[in-house]
Amino acid sequence: MIKWLDRGKWTRPTDKMAVYTEIEPGKRWGIRVTLLGDFARVEAIDGEKCSWYKPGPELSKDVKAPSLLERLRGVTFDDKLRAEVEAKRKVAAARNGGFFNLGPPVGPERTERRD
């Protein structure tokens, strides 16, 4: 298991897989990290039992082992995983009504005029 992922709980559904789930008390959105060898899927989830069918990159990202060029630059799997976990924590905080703004508003409330 990864030492810095300690705010949630770890489960082992199979011998080759580990799943970390982190949802703050009283909140609806959280993150899930699924580890399988040198591959990880990091997701922003809507509740503990949430599952997505083809989610967009905002909600789910696959983290793979660093390529040769990344390894030459000193990038490790842990670095890539840590960056993606922090990104999904921001998404979950924004969905929970946190202080993170993930970009310009979209939808009918946008009043910009485009010519």
Domain ranges, ordered by start, for the chain: 9-95
Starting at the earlier edge strand, list the strands of the sheet with 39-46.
9-14, 17-22, 29-36, 39-46, 60-64
Residue range 80-91: average pLDDT?
94
- Side chain identity at residue 97, one-letter code: G
User: Region 19-40: what's the mean pLDDT?
Assistant: 91
Predicted confidence band at 115 (pLDDT cuts at 50, 70, 90)? very low
Nearest C-alpha neighbor of 63 from the set 32, 42, 93: 42
Alpha-carbon gap, residue 92 to 46, rounded angstroms: 8
Q: State residue 74's pLDDT score.
A: 95
